[in-house]
């Protein structure tokens, strides 16, 4: 299964202001570096929890198969569009989604085709994310993202571990998806 971010999250100015306040920075000369650290922290949060923090649009490409197939992205809010990928790589949109695809959410999102389709794959465009914007993101996730970005900013000599600090993982752990196998 392949996952492509079609429209990344748009955190806005609030997280940068919050991070600068946390670090005691008032000048704009570090804004670009801090913004990149916030983006990286959002990505690390998603990798740790198994859930996309802020709303974004992604495309998942999966093989054409009978039965239920689990989607990689979590939490799925809606299926925006679907297309069958032909053997030559061209795409044909599925216009009547409810007649062609069934989906369910029970811990994770799963989809299945309701009728046989010829081709090499299925491309699904999905809206995913825990919260639509930074202000709606639950405080433990938001605070962990800020703390992680601050941690990397303070330790920018390259000695920081790839593992998030315990103070951050403690905030994120209740949101973590645990998967076996």
* In the predicted structure, residue 98 carries a pLDDT above the cut 90: no
In a domain, 140, yes or no: yes
Please indicate, yes or no, if residue 167 is contained in any of the structural domains. Answer: yes
* Pair (22, 36) in one structural domain: yes
Specify if 94 maps to a domain.
yes
Same domain, 115 and 95: yes
> How many separate domains does the chain show?
2
Q: Are the C-beta atoms of residues 148 and 45 closer than 8 Å to each other?
A: yes
Task: For residue 181, tell me if it sits in a domain.
Answer: no
pLDDT band at 129 (very low <50, low <70, confident <90, very high): very high
pLDDT at 177 exceeding the cut of 70: yes
Cα(12)–Cα(34) distance, integer angstroms = 13
Asked if the structure places residue 80 within a domain, the reply is yes
- Whether 180 is covered by a domain: the verdict is no
The per-residue pLDDT for 144 is: 98
Mean pLDDT score, 125-129: 95
DSSP H helical segments within 25-118, as ranges? Answer: 31-49, 97-100
* 123 occurs within a structural domain: yes
Summarised one tens digit per residue, pLDDT across range 25-66 is 999 999 999 999 999 999 999 999 999 999 999 999 999 988
Return the pLDDT at 107.
Answer: 62
Structural domain including 102 reads 59-127
pLDDT at res. 117: 85
pLDDT band at 148 (very low <50, low <70, confident <90, very high): very high
Please check whether residues 49 and 12 belong to one and the same domain: yes
Together in a domain, 34 and 65 = no
Q: Tell me if 59 sits within 8 A of 124, measured CB to CB.
A: yes
How much helix, strand and coil, in percent to the nearest 5, is found in the chain? 35, 30, 35
In this predicted structure, the answer to whether residue 106 has a pLDDT above a threshold of 70 is no
What is the value of pTM for the model shown?
Answer: 0.87
Check residue 179 and give its pLDDT: 64
For residues 87 and 137, state if they share a domain. no
Query: Looking at the predicted structure, is the pLDDT value of residue 95 above 90?
Result: no
Res. 159: pLDDT tops 80: no
């Amino acid at each position: 299964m392949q996952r492509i971010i079609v429209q990344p999250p748009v955190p806005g100015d609030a997280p940068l202001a919050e991070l600068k306040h946390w670090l005691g920075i008032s000048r704009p000369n570090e804004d670009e570096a801090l913004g990149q650290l916030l983006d990286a922290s959002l990505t690390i949060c998603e990798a740790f929890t198994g859930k996309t923090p802020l709303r974004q649009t992604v495309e998942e490409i999966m093989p054409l198969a009978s039965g239920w197939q689990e989607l990689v992205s979590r939490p799925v809010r809606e299926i925006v569009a679907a297309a069958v990928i032909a053997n030559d790589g061209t795409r044909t949109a599925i216009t009547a989604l409810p007649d062609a695809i069934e989906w369910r959410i029970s811990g994770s999102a799963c989809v299945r085709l309701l009728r046989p389709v010829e081709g090499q794959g299925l491309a699904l465009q999905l809206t995913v994310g825990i919260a639509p914007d930074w202000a709606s993101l639950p405080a433990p996730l938001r605070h962990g993202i800020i703390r992680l970005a601050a941690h990397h900013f303070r330790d920018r000599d390259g000695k920081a571990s790839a593992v998030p600090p315990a103070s951050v993982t403690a905030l994120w752990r209740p949101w973590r998806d645990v998967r076996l196998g």
